[in-house]
Structure 1
Amino acid sequence: MANQQHGATPEYGFNDHPLGHADQYTQYTEYSHSYTTDAYNNYYYITANPDIPNTSQAPEMNSKGEYNYNHLQPSKDAVGNGVQVQTRLLDSAGLQNTAEIRLQDPLLAIAFFVGGILAAVGHHLYYKRLNDTPVTSEDLQVWSIRIGTGLALLTRCGLVAAIGIAAVQQTWLSLRKRAMSIGGIDSMFDIMGNPLSFLNRDFLTHAKRLAVLAAVAWLLPIITIVTPATLSVESRMTHDSVATKVPYYNFSNTDGWGTYGGFGYISGVAPEIARLFTRTYISNSPIPQTPPFANASYDFNFWAPSYKCSNASEIIRTRNNRTWDLASYNYTNFEEAFNAEIVKPVSTGNFSSGAPPLVYKSTAPTSMNNMILVGANGRNEQWGNTDHNYLVCQLYNTTYSVTMRFDNGVQSIQENSIAHVDSQEWDNERGRLSMVLANGLCAPDPAANNATICPTYYMVQYIFTRFLTGQVRINVEGELMFQSDGYEGNIVEAGEAPFFQSGLTDCPEIWNSTGYQSASGGSLAFQSLNRCQGGTLATAIESLSRNFTYSLLTYSNWRNFTTEVPITVSMPRNFFYYNSITLLATYSSAVVVTLLCICVGFAALLSNGYTSSTAFSAVLLTTRNPDLDRLSTDNTLGAKPLPHPIRDTKLRFGILRTEGSESQAGFGLDGTVTPLENMASRS
């Protein structure tokens, strides 16, 4: 290494420079010309001094090892004083015009792209985990949307960043291919941050691929709007099983059921039971109980009384034997009794003879075992003959299997199974005295062949007997009248009788008779459609008896009788709903378009032959051109708006061919630049 000085000694020695070795860092001297070279002549360190001649080239060494400073041009401050500068010259090994594709930007684009895909997959998996799960709180709902929006934003950032890197490479490729106005070049460099750049026609004409890449980058944020909205909240009915106590029956408890006379025999039913029955036959439906939940259902099994109404001919065929004492009821068999009580009164007489037939007749002989005999002369097309108009309704102990259902508090009963098990084989007298049999409890009665007698069952028979038994006839004035059974003087206009206030008179066996229609003014005068449940008089009576049994669940004196059952509670609950098709389709489209953009960028990178940049340093190094220096005179601020002469000037990036200087790459005026070949292929 050689050291030569003119004037003062250097402030620092070659090896004791505070920044390190002299072949890496600049060495400074003061007040004199100084130079330092290493053994390889790679670096020169020069202290500027006003004594140094004005030149514009690096120092040269003569054959004696001395430096010639005629080519140095020191800098001056604002008042013309010399200022200390340093100049670093590189040999050919350090030149930057050698092209090489650096993998940093391509790998970064791939990393952003993969990161965006991972965020999209995470978004899908997160929403999929939430799908069909209940929204347990408002915070959960809010944060689920926030997290989804955050993942969508990460996806958008990753994909847009990857497109941005690709757009940089395409920018320089477009600049190499053709000349473009400075305004158009401004739009190219500004397009990723300013959508108004799309309004530049020169840019759209000469940089179509870049415009497409930029348009995709600007449109991709749509995914941050669409994909978070694929998770929504919908209300569904849920069904949970809850063990809950519900009203139950206790037919062994007679509290508040009856009225009594003498030594305790049953003389009638108490007011509340009567009201329950009245409400039942008027509404033609059970009295609804208080729902355990607004929307619920449960299966219910129990024993209770009900009537089974059979065709009289069937009873005569199977049970024609006498079950009563001849001293109290002088008929030798059931057929004889039924014909005498029902068939003949209903079928005899005609209008021409002045004795019109009965429209309806029902009776309940006290000697028979809880039977109600019924006859009507109306024709029911369902049977095709009049034989089914004669009925025997027998009281039974019945097993019920039903499903109680409540929909928004409205009760409905689904009858799954109704089985008539034990006919109540005891007469009226034993029923009246049942309260003294076992202190009002259900108990076998030795006087009734040990048949189990419940006072409450007897009172059900009492209620239906008073309701059903009687006669419907036409009086001499042609009026429709109802006469209660056993009470000759108790005759009322038909509409005032409880029987006519029920749905039973809507059954064809009653209204579809000549006498009824002549008195009522036509077949539809009294009829209300769909109130004859089952379509026949037999099914309507059976349905009324079951409805009354269901109504007893609301009996106030039985409010303490309950049973625990599993209730299926239905209630609206909010659940997450994930529209995966929309999210996956949106992300898939974004990923495919981004991948195509990256491929365009990689193709531009390979065509350029080196990794480009839109950083300030790239602009600085590619605009070293005397023509551009003259163009920038009086416009060094770069402020907007750009003057029209500058904006419309066409530039191209390529090889500058300037007279008196070596060729170099950079921006030049149109006509002074030759195409820039693939730098990688040149190297």
Structure 2
Amino acid sequence: MDAPRGRWGLHWQAPSTMVAFFIFGVTMAVGHHLFYKRLEGKLVVGTSSDWDLEAFLHGQEWKIRFGTALAFLTQSLFAKAIDQAFQQTVWVAARNKAITVDGLDAMFSAGSSLLSFSKLEFLRKATLGALLGLLKWLIPLSALVTPATLTVIPWTSFSNSTKPVPAVNFSIIEPLYHFYESVREMDYGFLSNNGITPKLTRILSSAATSLQILPMKAIAPNSTYEMTFHGPSLRCSRPEPIIHEAIHLMVNSTYEVVYQWTPERFAQEMSWVAFAPTENIFQYVYLGLKGTIPLASNKTRVEFLKFARICILQGDSFDNQYLCEGVVGFDESNARNVTYEYMSTLKSADGSANYGRIWVWVNASTTYDCVLTDTEYSARFVYSESESMQRVDPGYNFTWTENDLYGSYFATAGALSNFLTGAIRSDSEGSLIVRQTRITESAIFGALNLKSEVGDSGPGLSSRVITPEIRALARGKTAGELIEELSRNFTLSLFSVDQVLSMNLTEAVVTVSSQANVYAYASRNLVITYAVTSALSLIAILVGLVSLLRNGVSHEIGFLAFLLTTRNPRLDNFTLDQSMGALPHSEKVKETKLRFGFIRGSNGNMMQPEWQSLKTSSGDDQGQTGPGRVGFGFENEVQPLIKGTAYL
């Protein structure tokens, strides 16, 4: 009876399984990437239930579940491919070297037990198998990284549309200015505000004391737009010599009213004097310019003393009919250029009302001629979420133009005149003395000079009055620059007054932002993780394929494989008292070295089954030509397998 022969050759199942698991793993990895890429940037949809069709298709929880499932499948497929390669590799190690039973047990169980890696013999004699086994254990760690590459983050989206936006209509002045309370020759002394309404006064006061532009009602939540428009502002410059002389004389007159005598020096103690010149002052400036009546004349001095007492210091009037005009209003149909009005004053003896000029003396030497000027503003209006209001970005741009003024521009100049007009000085002890002016409420106060030391009789104010905190408000700017800034902030603050806003004056591109939660995908982390995982799996498969070729047959690790490869009567006798396989295993058995190969008999001949005798050409086992048995045997009874040789 002919014995069955062992089959050489690779069965398709082992290599195809390795490759198939790898391909499916790569496919799942690509699918995971495409799934997350499709979600990237999309809105997170909330659902009322977690287990209906809507939740299944759109719910955030299900998106996370799908991603986790893809990550689990991907790592499982890669781990299975590596496991197939690992099985082929350990059989190569079992054939090449004799290994103790304990080492073989660790080697064949490394794919399912981490304790196997504590066996040094396994690591030393089956290093490649140990690496593949360890890789199989590490591959699932990729599932800790890849699902977390999809997160939910807050996102701001923007939509643009062109629509009408509110703009200050400077032809509407009624809420800000009462024309008939300021008509020339009717507003006497200091008993009124020259027609400026309390509302406009409050706006200026709020802008000055808060050091910022007042907010306005929002046209829409989270809206932003830019707008260019014209409005008033003061332009402060060093005056012409005749005006400088007039301001000088007015400060001197103020000092004289205070001390009731003409000072020997020029009012060094006065730190601030500001006023809006009247028609009479203009006339004397004209006459002084022409040389008709010098500014130093007694007639001029009397006029200036009256003005200083009534309009600057708010003292008792020499003449109860004396007029403090301030900035005089005019009808919007008679809009005119303030610079032109001033030039007309100098060219004729008729004089002219003050349509927008404020003269300032500051720090005992510096003078300013602040002129109401048409200004082109380019401002950005942004939404303040904390206030639910629209605010003007402080970084607005402006340009002074030569355009004529709108009829209502004078209202802002009048309010500024009321705010600035007055005097500030200090006494010999450094105490502050303020008459009428309200600049102490603004950053302008921080630009005034300090005395060099306490008790100093020179110009400036005491450091007890202007503290470092107040000084910091000026931000290193001059008084003239701060007056200009206040006038612009005041104009921009008019957007907070609904009564003077119109929606049909201009349009702008309005950008509305909205907050939402969207999916964010860190593709780089997922791609790198899967690229490394795929590369390591591919290397493992190549090692497994090479092991298959070296083995010449396809192996697996399972009960049937060990049943077929341990049919050795000597092993049966050696383990006779260990047939239960119960723990603990015998140390003698564990330390016995076995090897997988061609098994010889105990007498030096090849082991024979009862039904066949083996024939040799020379009478010893080295010339063996007949069929023999393959399996695990003791180190001294096993010889290496020869590929292609017929074995039982």
TM over 0.5: yes
- Tell me the amino acid that sits aligned with residue 101 of structure 1: L
Give the Cα separation in 1 of the matches to 2:202 and 2:451.
27
The residue number in structure 2 matching 1:606 is: 549
The residue number in structure 2 matching 1:116 is: 25
Alignment of 1:579-658 (within 5 A): 579-631=522-574, 633=576, 635-658=578-601
The residue number in structure 2 matching 1:170 is: 89
Q: Contact 2:224 / 2:510 at 8 angstroms: preserved in 1? A: yes
User: Which secondary structure state, in structure 1, belongs to the residue aligned with residue 168 of structure 2?
Assistant: coil
Is the aligned partner of 1:678 residue 2:643? yes
The residue number in structure 2 matching 1:500 is: 440
TM-score under structure 2 normalisation?
0.69
The residue number in structure 1 matching 2:122 is: 203
- Tell me the amino acid that sits aligned with residue 444 of structure 2: L
User: Which secondary structure state, in structure 1, belongs to the residue aligned with residue 414 of structure 2?
Assistant: helix
Which of these two proteins has the greater Rg computed from alpha carbons?
Answer: 1
Structure 2 unaligned regions, length at least 5: 47-57, 188-193, 257-261, 280-351, 602-606, 615-627
The residue number in structure 1 matching 2:305 is: none
Shift of 1:214: 0.7
Q: CA separation of 1:160/1:627 partners in 2, compared to 1, >3 Å: closer, same or farther?
A: same
Q: CA separation of 1:172/1:482 partners in 2, compared to 1, >3 Å: closer, same or farther?
A: closer
Give the Cα separation in 2 of the matches to 1:505 and 1:231.
57
Question: What are the superposed Cα offsets for residues 118-159 of structure 1, whole Å, 9 maximum, x if unpaired?
Answer: 33333344444555x244336665444434333332332222
- Tell me the amino acid that sits aligned with residue 415 of structure 2: I
Shift of 1:559: 6.6
Shift of 1:247: 3.9
* 2:399 paired residue among 418, 424, 445: 418
Paired residues, number: 520
Q: Contact 2:6 / 2:646 at 8 angstroms: preserved in 1? A: no
Structure 1 unaligned regions, length at least 5: 1-57, 59-90, 317-334, 380-385, 425-451, 485-496
Give the Cα separation in 1 of the matches to 2:106 and 2:474.
85
Give the Cα separation in 2 of the matches to 1:340 and 1:645.
121
Alignment of 1:103-502 (within 5 A): 103-131=12-40, 133-137=41-45, 141-235=60-154, 238-241=157-160, 246-259=165-178, 268-291=195-218, 296-313=223-240, 335=242, 338=243, 341-346=246-251, 353=264, 356-357=267-268, 358-359=270-271, 360-366=273-279, 367-376=352-361, 378=363, 389-406=366-383, 408-409=385-386, 411=391, 412-424=393-405, 453-454=407-408, 457-473=409-425, 481-483=433-435, 497-502=437-442
Q: CA separation of 1:376/1:269 partners in 2, compared to 1, >3 Å: closer, same or farther?
A: closer
Give the Cα separation in 2 of the matches to 1:470 and 1:670.
116
User: Which secondary structure state, in structure 1, belongs to the residue aligned with residue 470 of structure 2?
Assistant: coil
The residue number in structure 2 matching 1:23 is: none
Q: CA separation of 1:519/1:529 partners in 2, compared to 1, >3 Å: closer, same or farther?
A: closer
User: Which secondary structure state, in structure 2, belongs to the residue aligned with residue 268 of structure 1?
Assistant: coil
Moved more, 216-225 or 187-196: 187-196
Shift of 1:528: 1.7
Is the aligned partner of 1:550 residue 2:492? yes
- Tell me the amino acid that sits aligned with residue 369 of structure 2: V
Give the Cα separation in 1 of the matches to 2:356 and 2:450.
20
Q: CA separation of 1:614/1:476 partners in 2, compared to 1, >3 Å: closer, same or farther?
A: closer
Shift of 1:299: 0.5
TM-score under structure 1 normalisation?
0.66
Shift of 1:522: 7.4
Q: Contact 1:399 / 1:421 at 8 angstroms: preserved in 2? A: no
The residue number in structure 2 matching 1:31 is: none
User: Which secondary structure state, in structure 1, belongs to the residue aligned with residue 376 of structure 2?
Assistant: strand
Q: Contact 1:372 / 1:392 at 8 angstroms: preserved in 2? A: yes
Question: What are the superposed Cα offsets for residues 567-608 of structure 1, whole Å, 9 maximum, x if unpaired?
Answer: 334566545444444433333332333233223222222222
User: Which secondary structure state, in structure 2, belongs to the residue aligned with residue 413 of structure 1?
Assistant: coil
Question: What are the superposed Cα offsets for residues 454-511 of structure 1, whole Å, 9 maximum, x if unpaired?
Answer: 3xx3432332232233344567998654455xxxxxxxxxxxx413322223335798
- Tell me the amino acid that sits aligned with residue 399 of structure 1: E
Moved more, 393-402 or 502-511: 502-511
User: Which secondary structure state, in structure 2, belongs to the residue aligned with residue 111 of structure 1?
Assistant: helix
Q: Contact 1:166 / 1:597 at 8 angstroms: preserved in 2? A: yes
Moved more, 515-524 or 297-306: 515-524
- Tell me the amino acid that sits aligned with residue 520 of structure 1: S
Give the Cα separation in 1 of the matches to 2:513 and 2:399.
26
Give the Cα separation in 1 of the matches to 2:566 and 2:267.
124
Q: Contact 1:608 / 1:679 at 8 angstroms: preserved in 2? A: no
Q: CA separation of 1:184/1:558 partners in 2, compared to 1, >3 Å: closer, same or farther?
A: same
Question: What are the superposed Cα offsets for residues 639-661 of structure 1, whole Å, 9 maximum, x if unpaired?
Answer: 44444444444332222233554
User: Which secondary structure state, in structure 2, belongs to the residue aligned with residue 528 of structure 1?
Assistant: helix
Q: Contact 2:154 / 2:515 at 8 angstroms: preserved in 1? A: yes
- Tell me the amino acid that sits aligned with residue 671 of structure 1: N
- Tell me the amino acid that sits aligned with residue 307 of structure 1: L
Q: CA separation of 1:247/1:284 partners in 2, compared to 1, >3 Å: closer, same or farther?
A: same
Q: CA separation of 1:363/1:481 partners in 2, compared to 1, >3 Å: closer, same or farther?
A: farther
- Tell me the amino acid that sits aligned with residue 413 of structure 2: Q
Q: CA separation of 1:618/1:475 partners in 2, compared to 1, >3 Å: closer, same or farther?
A: closer
- Tell me the amino acid that sits aligned with residue 407 of structure 2: I
User: Which secondary structure state, in structure 2, belongs to the residue aligned with residue 168 of structure 1?
Assistant: helix
Higher relative contact order (CA 8 A, sep 6+): 2
Shift of 1:212: 1.7
Q: CA separation of 1:510/1:310 partners in 2, compared to 1, >3 Å: closer, same or farther?
A: farther
User: Which secondary structure state, in structure 1, belongs to the residue aligned with residue 401 of structure 2?
Assistant: strand
The residue number in structure 2 matching 1:442 is: none
Give the Cα separation in 1 of the matches to 2:92 and 2:450.
100
Q: CA separation of 1:377/1:196 partners in 2, compared to 1, >3 Å: closer, same or farther?
A: closer
More helix by share: 2
- Tell me the amino acid that sits aligned with residue 538 of structure 1: G
User: Which secondary structure state, in structure 2, belongs to the residue aligned with residue 678 of structure 1?
Assistant: coil
Q: CA separation of 1:181/1:262 partners in 2, compared to 1, >3 Å: closer, same or farther?
A: closer
User: Which secondary structure state, in structure 2, belongs to the residue aligned with residue 405 of structure 1?
Assistant: strand
Q: CA separation of 1:629/1:556 partners in 2, compared to 1, >3 Å: closer, same or farther?
A: same
User: Which secondary structure state, in structure 1, belongs to the residue aligned with residue 213 of structure 2?
Assistant: coil
